[in-house]
Structure 1
Amino acid sequence: MSDDAATTDQSSCRGASAFEAQSSRSLRDFIDTESMSAGLLVAAALVALVWANSPWSQSYVDLWHTELSIRFGSGGLTMDLHHWINDGLMVVFFFVIGLEVRKEFAIGELTDRSRVVVPLVAGTTGMLVPAAIFLALNPSGAESAGWGAVIGTDTAFLLGVMALVGPAVSTQLRIFLLTLTVIDDIVAVSVIGIVYSDDISAGALLVAAACLAVLVVLDRYAVWQAAPYVLVVVVLWVATLESGVHASIAGMVSGLLVPALDPRRSDVDAAATSFRAFRQSPMPGVQRAARRSLTRAISVNERLQEALHSPTSHVVVPLFALANAGVDLRDGVLGDALGSRLMWGIVLGLVVGKAVGIFVGAWASVRLGWGRLPQGVGLGHTLAGGALSGIGFTVSLLIISLAFDSSRLQDEARVGVLLAAGLASLAGWLAFRFAARVLGQRDAALPTLLSRPVDEERDHVLGPVDAPLTLVEYLDYECPFCARVSGVGEELRAHFGDRLRYVTRHLPLPVHPHAELAALASEAAARQDRFWDMHAVLFAHQDELELEDLVGYAAQIGLDVERFMRDLDDDELARHVEHDVASAEESGVRGTPTFFIGDTRHIGPHDARTLIAALESAAVAR
Structure 2
Amino acid sequence: MIDNYESLPHETADIITRPFARFLKIEAAAGGLLLLAVLLALALANSPWQEAFLGFWEIPIGLTFGPVDFTRSLRHWINDGLMTLFFFVLSLELKRAIVLGELRNPRQAALPFAGAVGGMVVPVCLFLALMSGQPGMHGWGTVMATDTAFVIGCLALFGSRIPTALRLFLLSLAIFDDVGAILVVALGYGEALNWSALGLGLLGIGIIAAASRLGIRSVPVYFCLGAAIWLCFDTSGVHATIAGVILGLMTPTRIWVSDVRLRAILGRVLAAPAGDHRQGDAAGQRDLRQAGRALTESLSPVERLEMMLHPWVGFAIMPIFALANAGVTIDGADFGQPVSLAIIVGLVLGKPIGVFGFSWLAVRSGLAMLTPGLSWPFIMAGSFLTGIGFTMSLFIAGLAFDPEMLSAVKLGILSGSAIAATAGILVLILLTLLAAYAKSATGTGDKGPKI
Same fold by TM (over 0.5)? yes
Structure 2: give runs of 5+ residues left out of the alignment.
280-284, 440-444, 447-451
The question of whether the paired residues in 2 share the 8 Å contact of 1:109 and 1:179 is answered with no
- Of 161, 164, 185, the residue aligned with 1:168 is 161
1:541 matched to which residue of 2? none
1:272 partner amino acid: L
1:83 is aligned to 2:76: yes
Question: 1:287 Cα deviation (Å)?
Answer: 2.8
Q: Helix, strand or coil for the counterpart of 1:142?
A: coil
1:191 matched to which residue of 2? 184
- Of 46, 56, 59, the residue aligned with 1:63 is 56
Deviation track 1:477-521 (CA, whole Å, cap 9, x = no partner) reads xxxxxxxxxxxxxxxxxxxxxxxxxxxxxxxxxxxxxxxxxxxxx
2:416 matched to which residue of 1? 420
The question of whether the paired residues in 1 share the 8 Å contact of 2:144 and 2:177 is answered with yes
Change (3 A) 1:297 1:271: farther
- Of 187, 209, 212, the residue aligned with 2:205 is 212
1:273 matched to which residue of 2? 267
Structure 1: give runs of 5+ residues left out of the alignment.
450-622
Structure 1 or 2: larger helix share? 2
**Larger CA Rg, structure 1 vs 2:** 1
1:329 matched to which residue of 2? 330
1:307 matched to which residue of 2? 308
Change (3 A) 1:286 1:272: closer
The question of whether the paired residues in 2 share the 8 Å contact of 1:211 and 1:236 is answered with yes
1:464 matched to which residue of 2? none
Q: Helix, strand or coil for the counterpart of 1:116?
A: helix
The question of whether the paired residues in 1 share the 8 Å contact of 2:162 and 2:432 is answered with no
The question of whether the paired residues in 2 share the 8 Å contact of 1:153 and 1:391 is answered with yes
Question: 1:435 Cα deviation (Å)?
Answer: 3.5
1:349 is aligned to 2:346: yes
- Of 369, 381, 405, the residue aligned with 2:366 is 369
> Matched residues, percent identical?
35
Question: 1:196 Cα deviation (Å)?
Answer: 0.8
**1:139-538 matched pairs, under 5 angstroms:** 139-165=132-158, 168-221=161-214, 223-261=216-254, 264-273=258-267, 275-276=269-270, 280=274, 282-283=278-279, 284-330=285-331, 332=332, 334=333, 336=334, 338-405=335-402, 407-436=403-432
- Name the CA distance, whole Å, in 2 between partners of 1:76 and 1:187: 31
1:611 matched to which residue of 2? none
The question of whether the paired residues in 2 share the 8 Å contact of 1:277 and 1:286 is answered with no
2:30 partner amino acid: S
Change (3 A) 1:259 1:35: same
Q: What is the aligned residue count?
A: 433
Change (3 A) 1:214 1:170: farther
Q: Helix, strand or coil for the counterpart of 2:253?
A: coil
Change (3 A) 1:70 1:125: same
- Name the CA distance, whole Å, in 1 between partners of 2:239 and 2:9: 42
Change (3 A) 1:412 1:344: same
2:112 matched to which residue of 1? 119
Q: Helix, strand or coil for the counterpart of 2:157?
A: helix
Question: 1:19 Cα deviation (Å)?
Answer: 3.8
Deviation track 1:34-83 (CA, whole Å, cap 9, x = no partner) reads 11111111101111101011011011122101122246799663212111
1:606 matched to which residue of 2? none
The question of whether the paired residues in 1 share the 8 Å contact of 2:161 and 2:432 is answered with no
Change (3 A) 1:12 1:200: farther
Question: 1:8 Cα deviation (Å)?
Answer: 8.1
Compute the TM-score of the two structures, normalised by the length of structure 1. Answer: 0.65
The question of whether the paired residues in 2 share the 8 Å contact of 1:142 and 1:404 is answered with no
Indicate the structure whose relative CO is greater, using CA pairs within 8 Å and at least 6 residues apart. Answer: 2
- Name the CA distance, whole Å, in 1 between partners of 2:184 and 2:268: 47
The question of whether the paired residues in 1 share the 8 Å contact of 2:146 and 2:392 is answered with yes
Q: Helix, strand or coil for the counterpart of 2:71?
A: strand
Q: Helix, strand or coil for the counterpart of 2:399?
A: helix
1:265 partner amino acid: D
The CA RMSD over aligned residues, in Å, is 2.7
1:459 matched to which residue of 2? none
Deviation track 1:563-608 (CA, whole Å, cap 9, x = no partner) reads xxxxxxxxxxxxxxxxxxxxxxxxxxxxxxxxxxxxxxxxxxxxxx
Change (3 A) 1:110 1:132: same
Q: Helix, strand or coil for the counterpart of 2:87?
A: helix
Structure 1 or 2: larger strand share? 1
Change (3 A) 1:439 1:203: same
2:359 partner amino acid: A
Question: 1:268 Cα deviation (Å)?
Answer: 3.0
Compute the TM-score of the two structures, normalised by the length of structure 2. Answer: 0.89
2:419 partner amino acid: L
Q: Helix, strand or coil for the counterpart of 1:269?
A: helix
Deviation track 1:414-447 (CA, whole Å, cap 9, x = no partner) reads 011111121111110222244445688999xxxx
